[in-house]
Amino acid sequence: MSEQEHSAEPAGEKIRLPGGSLQPVLIAVGLSLLLIGVLDLWYLSVIGLLIMAAAIYGWIRDAVREHGELPSGH
């Protein structure tokens, strides 16, 4: 292979995947507490709702930040 073939950039765009996140797990835990609280203990509903709201807020905040880090034109 020639020197020029080694220095060529790969075809296509760089694949960018978001990092791991605990927000989906926290939303599931919050929803579970919310549903358990509806059936038996009302204060679990409040705790579950707060956990869900905080996780959804964090997830949206992270998505907006990651969207801002993308190169222009995307």
Q: Is the model more confident about 45 or about 74?
A: 45
In the chain, the number of structural domains is 1
48: Cβ–Cβ under 8 A, 6 or more apart, which residues? 29, 30, 31, 32, 33, 34, 35, 36, 37
- In the predicted model, is pLDDT for residue 58 greater than 70? yes
So what's the pLDDT on residue 4?
Answer: 54
So what's the pLDDT on residue 19?
Answer: 73
In a domain, 8, yes or no: no
In a domain, 47, yes or no: yes
Q: Which domain holds residue 39?
A: 22-68
So what's the pLDDT on residue 1?
Answer: 55
Q: Over the stretch 13-56, which tens digit does the pLDDT of each residue have? A: 677 777 788 999 999 999 999 999 998 889 999 999 999 999 99
CA separation for the pair 71, 13 (Å, rounded): 11
So what's the pLDDT on residue 39?
Answer: 87
Three-state DSSP class for 21? coil
